[in-house]
């Protein structure tokens, strides 16, 4: 959904910045200030910062600024906001403002098709064999597969190689080290 929003924002001439909270949590919230020049801020895996008071307070303020009309804020969670293990209850309540959509989980066939389409958008070709390998040897949820696809895209670009099963094995092994 966030990727579709990014594509739509791009078509409308809007500046959208998208981040993964699982990666943001490894730095201090005070260091994250580059989003001020965007029309839309999108955060994937926002639940990754739940329980971190610094990040919860930060995103509490982000929602407030969004409500004040400074920009739009989109986020994705793996659970409902009222189920998040947060320390700041005001943060939880802010996440419940606005429109909330619960998307059904994707089945294997849908994940395969999404991977195929997303890889084409990135300008890479994933063979059916590579997709089958990824679905067999790695988590079968869409978020994990999209993260893997980003890793493979980087590995393919840096090594100037087509994405094959040997490249997948090497790139994902190095990513785990």
Domains of the chain, earliest start first: 2-95 (3.40.50.300), 108-176 (1.10.8.60)
- Please state, in angstroms and rounded to a whole number, the distance separating the CA atoms of residues 148 and 156: 12
First-residue to last-residue Cα distance in the chain: 31
Is this prediction's pTM over 0.85?
A: no
pLDDT at residue 124 in the model? 86
pLDDT at residue 177 in the model? 46
* Mean pLDDT, residues 123-144 taken together: 89
pLDDT above 70: residue 104: no
Residue closest to 82 by CA, chosen among 93, 67, 74, 97: 93
Residue closest to 59 by CA, chosen among 79, 73, 69, 71: 73
Give the position of tokens 């087509």.
162
* Mean pLDDT, residues 62-69 taken together: 89
Mean pLDDT, the chain, as a whole number?
A: 87
The partner residues of 18 in beta bridges, in order of sequence, read 42
Asked if 27 and 58 count as a contact pair (C-beta separation under 8 A), the reply is no
* Mean pLDDT, residues 109-115 taken together: 89
Asked if 144 and 138 count as a contact pair (C-beta separation under 8 A), the reply is yes
Q: In this structure, how many other beta carbons lie within 10 angstroms of the beta carbon of residue 39?
A: 14
pLDDT tens-digit profile of 5-30? 888 888 899 998 888 888 888 889 98
């Amino acid at each position: 959904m966030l990727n579709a929003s990014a594509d739509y924002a791009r078509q409308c001439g809007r500046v959208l910045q998208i981040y993964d909270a699982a990666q943001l949590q490894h730095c201090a919230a005070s260091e994250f200030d580059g989003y001020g020049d965007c029309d839309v801020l999108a955060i994937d895996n926002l639940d990754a910062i739940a329980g971190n008071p610094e990040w919860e307070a930060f995103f509490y303020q982000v929602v407030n600024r969004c409500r004040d009309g400074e920009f739009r804020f989109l986020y994705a969670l793996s659970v409902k906001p009222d189920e998040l293990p947060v320390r700041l209850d005001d943060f939880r309540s802010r996440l419940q403002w606005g429109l909330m959509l619960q998307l059904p989980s994707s089945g294997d066939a849908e994940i395969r098709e999404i991977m195929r389409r997303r890889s084409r958008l990135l300008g890479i070709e994933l063979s059916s064999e590579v997709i089958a390998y990824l679905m067999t040897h790695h988590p079968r949820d869409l978020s994990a597969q999209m993260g893997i696809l980003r890793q493979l895209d980087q590995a393919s670009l840096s090594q100037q190689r087509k994405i094959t099963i040997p490249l997948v094995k090497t790139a994902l092994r190095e990513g785990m080290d």
